[in-house]
Structure 1
Amino acid sequence: MKACLSIEATEQYFNELFSEQSDYIAKSLMIGGAEIRLFYFDTLIDYSLVQEYILQPLLLRPNDAIQDVVSILDYTETDRLEDAGQAIMFGKAILLRKGENKLYLLGVDLKKERSINIPTNERVLRGPNEAFIENLDTNLNLMRKLISSKDFIVRTYTIGRLSQTKVAVMYIKSIANMAIIEELHKRLSSIDIDYVEAPGFIDELIREKKYSLFPQLLFTERPDRARSYLMEGKAVISTAGSPDAIILPVTFWSFFQSPDDYHSSWFLGTAFRFLRICCFFITIGLPAFYVSVNAFNPQLLPINFVNTLQSSVTNVTFPPVFEALSMILMLEILREATIRLASPIGQTIGVVGGIVIGTVVVQSNLVSNTMVIVAALTGLASFIMPSYEMSSAVRLLSYPALILSSLFGLLGLVFFFMVICIHLCQMNTMGIPYYSPPFSLNDAKDTLFRAPIWSMRKRPGETAPSNHTRLRNPRSWKR
């Protein structure tokens, strides 16, 4: 630990530390007969702030103490050169006056950020239209405005030896399970990595099942959604440089919940929730079911449907399993093409490509008409899920289901769903069962269906919140 020395020794230390940095500046000034040095990166500071809040006040009151003259809220003092060097890299200007054995760390960093915009991946028909951005302070500001309570706690960490990425953990002290918060603190504190590029890094470093396809943390770009999970006793992680926040711990059912469910009537919310869960099974099992029925178990279908199915595959070149694989792969290619291209071009490619490919492959007898319908329904079912991570996992799971069905028929598909169920039951997130069956009435109110708000008096029990009561007398007006 190097202590602050003379001006010359301090400047020599910084010059050696930043000798290869072309944007490092050491400026010498004479104010009121005293020599003053400023050290900073000119690409990180705001010159107008330096001029208005540092230099002009010093020129007016050159003999007063620095802390009485400089009018900057982000103001700290240190006598350690290592701390000052770190502060320079974070965009602060370091001020040193001759004759003083103290360094002044002044927050004059240049803030360049995009404005708060509407969510792009979690759009809703009703509700707020604010989304997180890449600036962590702005994200925390959004959350503070939504939760004006002294129990709303923000704990910050610095992760990454080189990147020094700022990470914030948010929770509500009076509701959250503190055992989970301490476990999260232990896992974050144990991360030793050069840099953190995105929340996905943290997801992989703190998750329990490293090789599971199923997402174990929920990503969101919506502050209102983060608030709703905080109110259930969960924690939210936000990282500097990313517009996505992580919600944990979550269960399997959390990935089928959407903010739209709570901005419409509970009848509609329940119907849409049930539809998403049905689409989970359709995405995984429909192509596999088509192959098994077509090749192994046609007796499971009505005779008229079997005749129609058989007539559609009579002149098809490839067996059903290759039909299904080729069409699902074609859907993935079209999907990737529409994402990577510019928005207007991507939409055109998606529509035109789907129509052209579907028409050509049927007319060429490469696939059957029924398989085109199955592939289209499978693709639409995967897009209905609110979570991109769950949607991607389900699409990948359809491939092993298809292989097993092509080898063992319907028995292979049933076996695959049994393996998935066993795997889900074995998973935990932060010590909480990932697949908590909604057997109790209180837990089922916001899993398989969305119960009326006035009936959800208790918080979900999966995270064991310290305060279970959410509503006390919601309809006291009714006598």
Structure 2
Amino acid sequence: MSFFKQNSSLLSRSNDLSNDIEENIKKIQEYFCHTEDLMQKELLFSNHKCVILYLEPLVNKELLQSSIIEPTLEAKESEIEKTVRAAEVKRTSEVTESGKNLLDGFCLILLEDDPQAYLASVGGIEGRAIQEATNERSVKSSYDGFVEGFSPNLQLLRVRIKSPQLKVKYFTIGNISNTKVGMVYLENLANRELIDEVERRLTSIEMDQLYSAGELEELIEDHPFSPFPQILATERPDRVVSYITEGKIAIIVDGNPRVLVVPITFFSFFQTPDDYNSRWIVGSFFRLIRIVSFIIAISLPAIYIAIVSFHSEVLPIGILYSIRTSLEFVPFPPLVEALTMLVILELLKEASVRLPSPIAQTIGIVGGLVIGTAVVDAHIVSNMMIVVIGFTAISSFVAPINEMGTSARLLGFPTMLAATCFGFFGIVFVLMIIFMHLSKLDSFGSPYFSPFAPFKKEDLKDSFIRLPHWKLNTRPTDARPVFTKQQGRTRGWKKK
């Protein structure tokens, strides 16, 4: 930190531009440590020496030629601001501001005997085209997703919310990276205390570099040691828009295809845009399936361990005989079986993620079949354990947001340990601790387990189930929006 303070103090002594164009060029070059991608082009403008400086990787050279260089050579005006054809032209007399704008894709125009520098926007970095979100696929919703560029992501929100109340607030985080971060919300709807709290947390961050939304998420969340995610990170613009219109705040990090949403509740991680594009009965059914799958992912291996170790009398004699037969030649206790298979599952998952797609599919299918058959034939695990772990894995992958599925698999380990020691009593105790923890959690001052803790009857209609659209005439209150009543959800016709 002392290096940056010392460097900034040295810059402050010579931060102002002067009438000497050569001296100004030298200051800009020193600001960028004489980097070789800082390009310099000399021209004549109204019989005066003119120098254009730009960072080669950050500008569109065709745009630079057509909007800056050619108009300058064919100048009919005596003022540079009236000559260039850039979308944005501004002036400055500071070296620091000039350098920051060069990093944003501007070019710097210096004139002889002029203490002012002119900045023209010529940025045009080609990024990834907008395409479907790969991690949150949809059946009936839109097929566009966020990309790495800040402007395209903001554009995806603007085209969906065409309201003058949609407000964007910019922040710069990182002494080295100078990462652009945007806070997006509806001015007339978002709670002022929530806006101030998010702004306070963002401005209080001190670090050298910020490269991912995951880093920012960890820096601003309320309970970093909780296994549950308290900030929703999504690649879907339709999802972010729905939360913004509920009074929540979206945070865009430049260079990241995931947008953060705060505050958030536990049930939001099991909701998808498809729930609202299907009939309410269908949407509610699948939402309930997702929530039940979360409980299964946490407790199913533990229930199997408890039954085998302590409570075999709860099973019919036919099923019990089948389980006892499969366990006859297995030398390990059920806990070791479960841990072995869960570790193998995680290894296969990680290998599938890291490898190229064609190879990953082969590894996933062949590896699962071969290893599953081999461990059973070798009497390392039983047939029933393979079924239990397979069902558990599928249940953990049902959650639309990957972080919640990972949390369920992690919570399965202490549940299995408790089941090994105390049977069903241990499972009930761990589940009780988990739900107590959920009831205590909060996200930016909003209760995480709302609408159950605290209980809010009005919010139940869009939590673990979804009522028809014409019943959803109020917004959820977890974000404390200014207006809870919303319009446009009434049926204007009546049956005759």
TM-score, normalization: structure 1? 0.97
Q: Which residue of 1 aligns with 2:490?
A: 474
Q: Counterpart of 1:456?
A: 472
Q: What amino acid does structure 2 have at the position aligned with 1:409?
A: G
Corresponding residue of 2:432: 418
The answer on whether the counterparts of 1:57 and 1:69 sit within 8 Å (CA) in structure 2 is yes
Match of 2:313 in 1: 299
Question: Which residue of the partner structure matches residue 241 of structure 1?
Answer: 255
Corresponding residue for residue 172 of structure 2: 158
Q: 1:397 aligns with which of 400, 411, 421?
A: 411
What does 1:292-441 correspond to in 2, within 5 Å?
Answer: 292-438=306-452, 439-441=455-457
Gaps of 5+ in 1: none
Q: Any residues of structure 2 matched to 1:169-318 within 5 Å, and which?
A: 169-318=183-332
Q: What do residues 89-110 of structure 1 show as CA deviations (whole Å, max 9, x unaligned)? A: 2222110111222100111123
CA pair 3-145 structure 1, distance change in 2 beyond 3 A: same
Q: What is the alpha-carbon distance in structure 2 between the residues aligned to residue 426 and residue 432 of structure 1? A: 11
Q: Counterpart in 2 of 1:4?
A: 17
Take 1:349 and 1:454, find their aligned partners in 2: how far apart are those partners?
A: 47
- The 8 Å contact of residues 93 and 106 in structure 1, kept in 2 or not, is answered as yes
Q: Which runs of 4+ in 1 moved over 6 A?
A: none
Instruction: Render the CA deviation track for 1:190-210: whole Å, top value 9, x for unaligned.
Output: 111111111111111111101
Give structure 2 stretches of 5+ with no counterpart: 1-11
The one-character-per-residue Cα deviations of 1:417-439 (angstroms, maximum 9, x if unpaired) are: 11111111111110111112434
Amino acid at match of 2:471: S
Q: Aligned partners of 2:439 and 2:364: how far apart in 1?
A: 38
Contact 1:235 1:248 in 2 (8 A): yes
Partner of 1:69: 83
Amino acid at match of 1:329: V
- The alignment covers a number of residue pairs equal to 479
Structure 1 window deviating more from structure 2 (230-239 vs 302-311): it is 302-311
Contact 1:442 1:456 in 2 (8 A): no
Alpha carbons 2:451, 2:463 under 8 Å: kept: no
Q: Give 1:407 shift.
A: 1.5
C-alpha deviation, 1:342, in angstroms: 1.2
State the 1:473 CA deviation: 5.8
C-alpha deviations, 1:178-232, integer Å up to 9, x for none? Answer: 2111100000011111111111111111111011110000111111111111111
Q: Is the 8 A contact 1:31 1:62 kept in 2?
A: no
Q: How far, CA to CA, are the matches of 2:57 and 2:376 in structure 1? A: 59
The residue type equivalent to 2:482 in the other structure is: S
Tell me by how many angstroms 1:60 deviates: 2.0
The answer on whether the counterparts of 2:77 and 2:83 sit within 8 Å (CA) in structure 1 is no
Q: CA deviation at 1:263?
A: 1.1
Equivalents in 1 of 2:456, 2:182: separation in Å?
A: 34
Tell me which amino acid in the other structure corresponds to 1:87.
Answer: N
State whether residues 233 and 261 of structure 2, in contact with CA within 8 Å, keep that contact through their aligned partners in structure 1: yes
Distance 1:88 1:288 in 2: 58
Counterpart residue type for residue 249 of structure 2: A
Distance 1:163 1:68 in 2: 34
Which amino acid is 1:269 matched to? G
One-letter identity of the residue aligned with 1:402: M
For 1:297 and 1:13, the matched residues in 2 are separated by 79
Q: What is the distance in 2 between the residues matched to 1:396 and 1:168?
A: 32
1:465 paired residue among 456, 470, 481: 481
Provide the residue aligned with 2:3 in structure 1.
none
Alignment of 1:72-151 (within 5 A): 72-151=86-165
Q: Distance in 1 between matches of 2:147 and 2:283?
A: 28
In structure 2, the residue corresponding to 1:478 is in which secondary structure?
coil
Maintained 8 Å contact 1:454/1:471: no
Q: CA deviation at 1:286?
A: 0.5
- Give the 3-state SS of the residue equivalent to 2:170 in structure 1: strand
Distance 1:311 1:460 in 2: 52
Residue 399 of structure 2 aligns to which amino acid in structure 1?
Answer: M
203-212 vs 294-303, which moves further: 294-303
| Residue 360 (structure 1) shift | 1.4
Q: Deviations over 1:5-50 (max 9, x none)?
A: 0212212212322344121223322334211111222222222222
Give 3-state SS (helix, strand or coil) of 1:43's partner. helix
Deviations 1:249-268 (A, max 9, x none): 00111111011111111111
